[in-house]
Amino acid sequence: MKHFSRFMTLAVLSVLFVTTTISAQAAIGKATAAFDNERPDRGETAWGRLVADAVRNTAHSDIALVNAGTLKRGTLKAGKIEATDIDALLSFGDDAVVTLNITGAQVRAALNRAAQAYPTGSTAYLHGSGFVAHFNPQGPNNQRVTQIQVQGRDLADTATVSVAMPVSLAQGADGYFRVWKDQGSQRSGATVRSAITDFIQARGDISPDNNPRFGPQ
């Protein structure tokens, strides 16, 4: 009986140790405040900005574009972040992160397409990193974007820009085949999910960026 009791004690301790270890490993980082993503199809969200930053970071590109179709509605709550929290806010987390070298004119065309989704909503709406752009919601289709700046300078139509994005977007998802068609994309070796995970783990604590990057004037 004494041996059985000792065995049970060791078994319980082992379970507690494993459970604690798994719990500790599951924590990727911490959100200091909530990251909203309730309507990524009709405007910027804090989560969309974070995803775009992570995609750009992993690809070391000039800018990044992430379509709303990659994101699921919801909110990343303040506090500990686990892998399941990231998966809950991604529609296509397994998409590879790729880079396209395109012209400033193509960037403008892509943003004009995204601007057409405002304010009714569309999976074609774009979340970005590395640039600031504005559009006139009342302007004619394909001519709504009024300004695009990269590193504080207006982006010329003739400029060449490296743009990181999910592979499905590079292949023309959500109508972007009209702007590009996977024209010589380069894979980063990361997926959207792993890019976000690495980005958060490298920082530990993350805070939402609420500064506008792409939206109406």
206 in the Ramachandran plot: left (φ > 0), alpha (ψ -120 to 50) or beta? beta
Instruction: Give the separation between CA 146 and CA 127, rounded to whole angstroms.
Output: 17
Residue 5's pLDDT is what? 52
Nearest-10 crossing angle of helices 46-59, 192-203: 90
State the amino acid at position 78 in one-letter form.
A
pLDDT tens per residue, range 2-32: 554 554 444 444 444 444 444 445 789 999 9
For residue 214, the 8-state DSSP code is: E
pLDDT under 50: residue ranges of the chain: 1, 4, 7-24
- What is the domain partition of the chain in residue ranges? 29-216
The pLDDT value recorded for residue 183 is 73
Closest CA to 130 of 102, 158, 161, 160: 161
| Distance in angstroms (rounded) separating the CA atoms of residues 161 and 91 | 27
Q: What is the pLDDT of residue 23?
A: 44
Rg (CA), the chain: 21
Give the three-state DSSP class for 191: strand
pTM (predicted TM-score): 0.88
Over residues 105-123, the pLDDT tens digits come to 999 999 999 999 899 999 9
| CATH superfamily assigned to domain 29-216 | 5'-Nucleotidase, C-terminal domain (3.90.780.10)
